[in-house]
Structure 1
Amino acid sequence: MSENKPVRRRRADADRSRTAILAAAVTVLDERIDAGLERVAEAAGVTRQTVYAHFPSRDVLLSAVVDELTREMLTAIDALDLDQGPALDKLLQLIDLSWQGFEQHPLLLHLPQTPGPDDRHDPVIERLGRLIRRGQRAGEITREFSADWLVMALIALGHTAGESVSTGRLPAKKATTALHASISRLLQP
């Protein structure tokens, strides 16, 4: 049985290294989106080789960071309890929560857009669709458009607001105000 202890210890060490690298990457990339793996390694307190052992390229690390931030955001969204309360209010709370995420992690506003669908959006799309359908059944949200159309319109509006902030065309506060007004007008029956 003592043969398993070194393997477990190495595995625990590897898990700690990976966690430290991801945490450091979030911090470093929030400060400077073009930071290299050497800077991430330094911030994590590991060697560059350790970073490469877990993340063979900067793109792989960046993808892991986005996955981690997505998991955190979904946990926060679920804490809103979207199945209770007025649907439009909950939707606006969800939008505010998303903006808080962008403010906390500016790297999210500066990521290159990937062509085609991104399956990271799927859990958010599912939650938005469920919330909109609930609001439509209650008469709180327009039935003029399908829930699927409204979800895609909300995502497009959110991306437009995010792009406006990341390119400096609008300050975050004005983009949030415009997004709230646009969403309210689009969804009200």
Structure 2
Amino acid sequence: MTASGEPRRRRRADAERSRNDILDAAVRLLRQRPDAAMEAIATEAGVTRQTVYAHFPSREALLTATVDRITEGAVAAMDAARLDEGPPTAALTRFLDVSWHAFEGNAPLFQAVPIGTAEENDQARHASVTDRLRGLIERGQRAGEFTPDSSPPWLVTITIALGHAAGEEVNSGRMTNSQARTALNTAVLRALGAREQRG
């Protein structure tokens, strides 16, 4: 079993490495060129177009996996921000900062994802984010820092909707990144009944 299993494990490891290389290349390239073709992404990854299609049967599938990769990075950054420590309002500000940083660096890529695909995958993609946000909101309510008048799920929905609205303002050119980020922080803090903390 060891003799036959070793080549199989090696092939799996090679395939996983190839997939990761493609996703990393897609993130780099699509940030600059949201309309980049599969062939360009293959070139950036140092593989053939056939290899890209072996892992991702369509450009849509690759875009979805790329956004999933970015979301995973954002979730890791949220965990590094220690949202379960310190005053809940300060932790909420850290959550918003991490979330905005993920959007700010990848806005062109997010725009490249077809609307139908984005909507279908949004709920599942948001699950790891909403779980952390809900825990933070519940902690804030217990501490008396956030309004007790609305349920945590509703406050999560409001926060995410405000984040999408802020992103759309930037994408449409109606706000700069800085303006939208400030407006988002203010709106979310008000919606949750929290006071803005400075310094």
Q: Verify: 1:137 aligned to 2:138, yes or no.
A: no
Number of positions where the alignment pairs a residue of Structure 1 with one of Structure 2: 189
Q: How does 1:31-42 map to 2 (within 5 A)?
A: 31-42=32-43
- Counterpart in 2 of 1:76? 77
Deviation at 1:9, TM superposition (A): 3.3
How many angstroms apart in 2 are the aligned matches of 1:21 and 1:115? 24
**SS in structure 1 of the partner of residue 150 of structure 2:** coil
Deviation at 1:73, TM superposition (A): 1.1
RMSD over aligned CA atoms reads: 1.7
Q: How does 1:48-67 map to 2 (within 5 A)?
A: 48-67=49-68
TM-score with structure 1 setting the length: 0.92
Give the 3 Å change call, closer, same or farther, for CA 108–88 of structure 1 in structure 2.
farther
Deviation at 1:108, TM superposition (A): 4.7
Deviation at 1:109, TM superposition (A): 4.1
The letter of the residue matching 1:39 is: A
The letter of the residue matching 2:128 is: P
- Counterpart in 2 of 1:179? 184
The letter of the residue matching 2:48 is: T
Kept after mapping to 1: 8 A contact 2:23/2:65: yes
**SS in structure 2 of the partner of residue 16 of structure 1:** helix
Kept after mapping to 1: 8 A contact 2:60/2:114: no
- Counterpart in 2 of 1:99? 100
Kept after mapping to 2: 8 A contact 1:109/1:163: no
Consecutive unaligned residues of structure 1, counting only runs of 5 or more, are: none
Give the 3 Å change call, closer, same or farther, for CA 115–44 of structure 1 in structure 2.
closer
- Counterpart in 2 of 1:122? 127
Deviation at 1:8, TM superposition (A): 3.3
How many angstroms apart in 2 are the aligned matches of 1:108 and 1:29? 5
> More displaced, 99-108 or 110-119?
110-119
Deviation at 1:106, TM superposition (A): 2.6
Kept after mapping to 2: 8 A contact 1:109/1:162: no
Deviation at 1:51, TM superposition (A): 0.5
Q: Verify: 1:89 aligned to 2:90, yes or no.
A: yes
Aligned-residue identity in percent? 50
The letter of the residue matching 1:88 is: T
TM-score with structure 2 setting the length: 0.88
Kept after mapping to 1: 8 A contact 2:68/2:125: yes
